Amino acid sequence: RKEVEQDPGPFNVPEGATVAFNCTYSNSASQSFFWYRQDCRKEPKLLMSVYSSGNEDGRFTAQLNRASQYISLLIRDSKLSDSATYLCVVNDPGNYQLIWGAGTKLIIKP
């Protein structure tokens, strides 16, 4: 079982729609969670951290479910510019590293 699992997609979504994707993680001791976005042929960039209470940044909402060990990302009123690969990232407490999911590809269509 992979430590961080994501649906690779692609998710093909019409502009203006709401889209959500989940990510599951295997280490119950993990305490830090992030969503990064990666555009084609670019480096990953931090989208948002995920807090226990959930957090929102404009059209983006992130949630953490510790009991089921998953985090989610919701994008409302999607824009063409939201097309990217979204990476789920979880810390590995034993190894002082971040564990990276393989990413979910999102394509927003006009």
Partner 1 sequence: GAGVSQSPSNKVTEKGKDVELRCDPISGHTALYWYRQSLGQGLEFLIYFQGNSAPDKSGLPSDRFSAERTGGSVSTLTIQRTQQEDSAVYLCASSFGGSGANEQFFGPGTRLTVL
* Contacts with partner 1, residue ranges (CB under 8 A): 31-32, 34, 42-46, 49, 87, 91-93, 95-98, 100-103
As measured in angstroms, the least distance from the Cβ of 102 to partner 1 is 4
Q: Choose between 76 and 100: whose C-beta lies nearer to partner 1.
A: 100
Q: Which CB sits closer to partner 1, 43 or 67?
A: 43
Report d(CA 105, CA 11) in Å as an integer: 6
**Cis peptide leading into 44, omega within 30 of 0?**
no
Q: How far is the CB of 103 from partner 1 (least distance, A)?
A: 6
Question: Smallest distance from the beta carbon of 63 to partner 1, in angstroms?
Answer: 18
Taking the complex as a whole, the smallest distance from the CB of residue 34 to partner 1 amounts, in Å, to 6
Measured CA distances, 79 to 28, 42, 108 (Å): 34, 19, 7
**Closest CB to partner 1 among residues 5, 54:** 5
What are the start-end ranges of the E strands in the chain? 4-6, 11-14, 19-25, 33-38, 45-49, 55-57, 60-65, 70-75, 84-92, 97-100, 104-109
For residue 102, the 8-state DSSP code is: -
Q: Which residue number, 37 or 63, has a Cβ lying nearer to partner 1?
A: 37
